Amino acid sequence: MISRTQEGKILEWIGKGKAIIIIGPRQVGKTTLAKQIVDGRGENTLWLTGDDPETRNQLKDVSLARLEAILSNNQIVVIDEAQRLHNAGLMLKLITDHFKNIQLIVTGSSSLDIASETKESLVGRKFEYPLYPLSFIEMVSHHGLLKERSLLEHRLVYGYYPEVVKTNETGISQKILNDLADGLMYKDLLTLDQVKKPSLIVKLLQALALQVGNEIKYTEIGELIGADPTTVEKYIDLLEKSYVVFRLSSLSRNVRNEIKKGKKIYFYDNGIRNSIIKNFNTVEARQDIGALWENFLIVERMKNNTYSEHYYNAYFWRTTAQQEIDYIEESGGRMSAFEFKWNPKRKGRIPATFLKAYPNSETEVISRDNFEEFVGFSIHHEKP
């Protein structure tokens, strides 16, 4: 069993009067994590799942009296895939307000419903824990640095979804990823009321996958897929809230010709990205290794920052004169700038314009020779 970093964080707050919300993409192990937490406690537990039509029917607009009968004398109540329940936020509020002795654990695959409802209904009553595909650090803890490092090129192509990590057969990995990608596009996203033109979602995902690492403009994407910029922005917002992609904004403060409203799009998992464009070629045979490397590093950095509760602002930097920096973090009043190079022999350079505008910034070029610390590895992560 691969240990998840978030498990220890969650265990610290079990039994302390707060609802635990585990949220993230489908199939990243949220249910498995909840089971590990519950099984280790040996308490009476009720499992409810939003995937079950009968459960959805029983919990639809449920009254307090009816809820008391359903919950009975259980000490822990787990509600899996809560975003599929009608008025989920209100029901969770009733449980936290009126059943103080019950530890509520909730999982949700999409922030479209569960996050918006619970944030309003459970203010001050919950702790929210994002869970992503497995991380480089979690896999190092599982089987050691040397083993995980030897799999780097494989991870760049196939990513870190748990079912993919469990198999070493490329054919099986491709099938798993294709099924996952189809589920994201056709099961989750295309059933949303907000999606009025389903074919555009597929075209948009393909367009975004081909432009990882590049600045995007809603107008240009719209022309490419046949949609207006407003629709493009709306659908990207849905993709972001469904944990398929996320945006990185441009830094613009001190230099006159800095790009002021630029956006880059990254995927939460390289394997999903590659499945969308149907390209599982090896690293040596790819023209997009730079994009894969950039996506990998930024996602792994995000996972580690999130799990370690490190609060920061993230940007890229570019000027109209085409000077650029791949990734910038601002934390504690300090700025750190990073250039990404897959090939260690290619020398990255931080533009003098940036250094002059943002003095005292820390700078570093990240290649496959030195990336471990950037994604959160330190000596205590190594498995004994």
Residue-wise DSSP of 2-53? PPPHHHHHHHTTTTTT-EEEEE-STTSSHHHHHHHHHHTT---EEEEETT-H
Higher-confidence residue: 193 or 375?
Answer: 375
Percent of the chain with pLDDT over 70: 92
Do 49 and 158 belong together in one domain?
no
The CATH number that applies at residue 42 is 3.40.50.300
For the chain, report the end-to-end CA distance as a whole number of angstroms: 16
Together in a domain, 92 and 179: no
Asked, for residue 340, whether it belongs to a domain, the answer is: yes
Tell me, what's the pLDDT at 193?
58
As for how many domains the chain has, the answer is 2
- Say whether both 195 and 104 belong to one domain: no
Q: Is the pLDDT of residue 114 over 90?
A: no
Among residues 136, 133, 127, the alpha carbon closest in space to that of 103 is found at 127
pLDDT of residue 187: 64
How far, in whole angstroms, is CA 339 from its chain's centroid? 22
Task: Record the pTM.
Answer: 0.92
Residue 206 and residue 351 share a domain: yes
Q: In this predicted structure, what is the pLDDT of residue 120? A: 60
Q: Is the pLDDT of residue 195 over 80?
A: no
Q: What is the pLDDT of residue 124?
A: 75
Please give the Cα distance from 32 to 26 (Å, whole number).
12
- Which pLDDT score, from 0 to 100, does residue 384 have? 40
Q: Is the pLDDT of residue 383 over 50?
A: no
Asked whether residue 246 falls in the same domain as residue 344, the answer is yes
Are residues 196 and 213 located together in one domain of the fold? yes
Residue type, 235: Y
Tell me what the mean pLDDT of segment 346-367 comes to: 91
Q: Residue 365 and residue 374: Cα distance in Å, rounded?
A: 10
C-alpha 5 chain-centroid distance: 14
Q: pLDDT band at 304, cuts 50/70/90?
A: very high
Residue type, 196: K
Whether residues 188 and 308 share a domain: the answer is yes
Could you tell me whether strands 126-130 and 103-108 are parallel, antiparallel, or unpaired per DSSP bridges? Answer: unpaired
Q: Which residue has the tokens 């190594």?
A: 382
Please check whether residues 152 and 249 belong to one and the same domain: yes
Q: What is the mean pLDDT of residues 81-107?
A: 87
Whether residue 126 is found in the same domain as residue 157 = no
104/189 same-domain check: no
Q: Do 9 and 117 share a structural domain? A: yes
What is the extent of the structural domain holding 37?
A: 5-130
- Full strand arrangement of the beta sheet holding 313-318: 215-216, 263-267, 245-250, 313-318, 324-331, 334-340, 362-366
Question: pLDDT band at 376, cuts 50/70/90?
Answer: very high
Does residue 297 sit within a domain?
Answer: yes
* Residue-level pLDDT at 381: 52
247 found inside a domain: yes
Residue 375, domain member (yes or no): no
